[in-house]
Homo-oligomer: A and B are copies of this chain.
Amino acid sequence: MSTTEKTDKREHILLVAEELFAGKGFDGTSVRDIAHLAGVNLAMISYYFGSKENLLKELIEYRFSYTVSLLEEKSNDQLQSPWEKIEWIIDFYVERIINNRRFHSIMSQEYNTARSSEIKELITSIKMQNLERIKKIIAEGQRKGVFRKIDVEMTLATMMGTITQVINSKNVYCVLLRIDTTDEKEYQEKITQRLKTHLRELLQAHLIGK
C-alpha cells in the first residue's frame, strides 16, 4: 500500500471524526461510530491513534498546523497600515473559522470539558499565541495614534465571539437572516460576507471612531 493511501486513511478517519465530534460532541461520539462512518475496522482507530483522546489531539494538531506562521508574517508586515492589517485579520479569521466551522465548533464545545490537561494546554497556548499577535497590531495602531484607547482583550473577545456565536447558533441565525439551511454553499457565502462587513464596520467605529 502506498504512503498516500495510508495518509489518506488516517486523514479520512480524522475528517470523519471531526464531523461526528462536531455533530454529537466528543463524549457523544463512540469509536464505533467513527469506524462505521469511516468504513474502517474498529480496531484500526486504536491502531492508528492509540486512543480516542489522542485522536482528538491529533485532529487539533492537524487543523492548527497550517495556520501557525500566517498571522506572524502579517503582524510584522511593514507596508500595511494597522487598520489594513485588522481588515486582513477579520477576513482571515471569518474565512478560516467558517471553512473549518465543524472543527471550530468542537473546540468551543470541548474546551471546557476536555479531560486531558494536555489538550487543554495545547488549545490555550494556540489561542494565546493568536491573541497576542492581534494585540500587537492594535498596540501598534495605538502607538501611531490611529486607534483609540480601547479595551484590547475585550475587543479580541468581540472579534472571536461574534464569529463563534454565528457558527454555533447556526439555526437561530439562519432563521433571523432568512437564509436557507439546505444550501450549504449559499449559507456559507452569505454568512461570510455579512460577518466580514459587520466586523469591519463595528471595529472601525470602535477603533477609529467613524
Contacts and interface: CB of A to CB of B under 8 A. Distances in A.
Interface of A: 22-28, 105, 108-113, 115, 120, 124, 127-128, 131, 150-151, 153-158, 160-166, 168-173, 175-177, 194-195, 197-199, 201-202, 205-206, 209-210
A157 B166 contact: yes
Nearest to A205: B205
B198 A151 contact: yes
Given A161-B165, A206-B206, A154 B108 contact: no
A12 B155 CA distance: 38
A163 B61 CA distance: 27
A138 to B, nearest CB: 13
B25 A113 contact: yes
- Which of A23, A161, A199 is most buried by chain B, counting CB atoms within 10 A of its CB? A161
Nearest to A177: B153
Nearest to A157: B165
- Which of A165, A171, A194 is most buried by chain B, counting CB atoms within 10 A of its CB? A165
Nearest to A28: B27
A139 to B, nearest CB: 13
Given A108-B108, A113-B24, A202-B202, A157 B162 contact: yes
B168 A165 contact: no
Contacts of A156: 176
Given A162-B157, A165-B157, A177-B153, A171 B120 contact: yes
A130 to B, nearest CB: 10
A115 B195 CA distance: 28
Contacts of A171: 120, 124
A194 B10 CA distance: 44
Contacts of A27: 25-28
Contact of A157 (B23, B109, B173): B173
